[in-house]
Chain A
Amino acid sequence: MHSPTANVPETVPWVARVSMYAYPTATALLIFAVWEAVTRAGWVSSLILPAPSIIIATSFENLPLLLQMSGTTAAEFLLGFALSVAIGLPLGALVVYARPIELAIYPLLVAFQTLPKAAVAPIFIVWLGTGITSKVLIAFSIAFFPIVIDTVVGLRSAQPETIHLVRSMGGSALQVFWYVRFPNALPAIFAGLKVASTLAVVGAIVGEFVSSDRGLGYLVLVANGELKTPLVFACVLILTILGIVFYFLVEQLEKFVVRWHVSSRQVEAVGTY
């Protein structure tokens, strides 16, 4: 090989790597320390704001219940998210490829998006019952829009020369899609997926708030009604963890699938002057 530099990966300096986690962790620890101190000192009632230590203790005491409720909520937002992907991606492609479809449904999509979903959630419950189906659909209705929009933007953003190139190789429209348009759209699609992953969680909870008999949202309402504030906070804690883990998984998938993209190049993303 002529150039040994070609295959040696640049490593991220360890300082940058550590600070990536150290800074947010330090900030969070500081907030929790102040929180703990303020509540221990008795300045606020634990009915209003329980100490972090109490929240964590409560979480462990009620772990079986919390896990069971988490299972329901996770199933709701995962299915809602999956449905968003299954419908959002093809819909985005249709909008790009079929002009009549674009004209017919794009404005309606935008109109639907501006509709406050929390306000129509009760209708979903009336139509679909109080079971998991209505929650899945509410999660879907909130999460699928960014996927459609970002798919459309991504598919349209291919450099014209790259499309011309494949056509001059005798490539069909389908080949243009697989070799150029789709891979080129992936960074945008993942941007949509990441937003959707957080919205799906919101959707599941909104659904549970309106009417349900299980799930973390349901438990929040029950615990709140019984003035078990530490349990409410425990639910929020678990929900936050679920949301972060889900987002993290989508992000890891993104890093793997579009590792060629600017946003995944660690050297530039982390290194600053």
Chain B
Amino acid sequence: MTRPAATLLKLDAAAAHRDCFVRLQNVDKVYAGRGGGLKAVDNVSLDLHDGEFLAIVGPSGCGKSTLMMMVAGLSPVSAGEITIRAQNVTGPYTDVGVVFQRDALLEWRTVLDNVLLQIDVRRLRRADYEKAAYTLLERVGLAGFEKSYPWELSGGMRQRVSLCRALIHNPSLLLMDEPFGALDALTREQMNLDLQKIWIDTRKTMLFITHSIWEAIFLADHVIVMTPRPGRIAAVIKIDLPRPRRLAVRETAQFGHYAAMVREQFQAFGLLKES
């Protein structure tokens, strides 16, 4: 039995990226606007493998959220190509949990109903997920607030609800845009520990955007540093720290070394001036 050459070639290509979940190739994003438009993302290529935790850090306005929106299939690329499991992304990718930079809670739904929105829209059976929703909410310290409305919560509590909403349906890909930006330092550290635990337990593929160098290094397998707008990839730093990582890991020399590498990138852009 012989295969047509074209099919063989395709199979080979597929085999080469077997464990490549999300792949960006020369992706550009230009927002239409006055004066010929604004380039937000410039020629970004990256691979996100199955079960990998990838963190992106970069200065404000460098195109991180834009990049995430394109991966989610919610915003079209201007040039280049994004594939998920070798399929071209042309519309919303749905086997995903998204945490947006703004919490995007629906004001007319209770905390529990906001989490279960995920279930309602997907036409799954509510009864099958209600218990999981309670468990998730308790895990992020929101037990007792299930019947509260979003306006009765603090900014950090709201963001934790949207985290639960992204996890409830057990998606294989998680996209998180500064999910802990609104939390106080203490809660943030707790959430980092919790997220690490969830990730170790489930090994979900993760694209995690943050402003915090510390948070990126603590959580990720790879940290991508982006340049100021238009966002390009300045460096990819592989983080070789054993898991589970403890908070004290940041006092180690190795952690300090990674932090210095990221900081040097920022300083090369003219950010973080020390005098």
Contacts and interface: CB of A to CB of B under 8 A. Distances in A.
Interface of A: 1-4, 6-7, 159, 161-162, 164-171, 175, 179-180, 183-184, 186, 258, 260-262, 265
Given A161-B100, A179-B120, A265-B151, A168 B94 contact: yes
Contacts of A184: 106-108
B96 A168 contact: yes
Interface in B130-170: 143-145, 147-149, 151-152
B72 interface: yes
Interface of B: 69, 72-74, 92-94, 96, 98, 100-102, 104, 106-108, 117-118, 120-122, 143-145, 147-149, 151-152
A179 B107 CA distance: 11
Q: Binding site of B, secondary structure by majority: helix, strand, loop or mixed?
A: loop
A4 B151 CA distance: 17
B98 A168 contact: yes
Nearest to B145: A6
A260 B151 contact: yes
B104 A7 contact: no
B100 A170 contact: no
15 contacts: A3-B143, A3-B144, A7-B147, A159-B104, A161-B104, A162-B104, A164-B104, A165-B104, A166-B121, A168-B72, A168-B73, A170-B92, A184-B107, A258-B108, A261-B108
Give the one of B74, B102, B122 with max A CB within 10 A: B74
A43 B149 CA distance: 59
A15 to B, nearest CB: 24
A257 to B, nearest CB: 9
Contact of B144 (A1, A161, A168, A170): A1
Contacts of B145: 3, 6
A6 B92 contact: no
A165 B144 contact: no
Given A1-B144, A2-B144, A164-B72, A169 B100 contact: no
B174 to A, nearest CB: 12
A167 B122 CA distance: 10
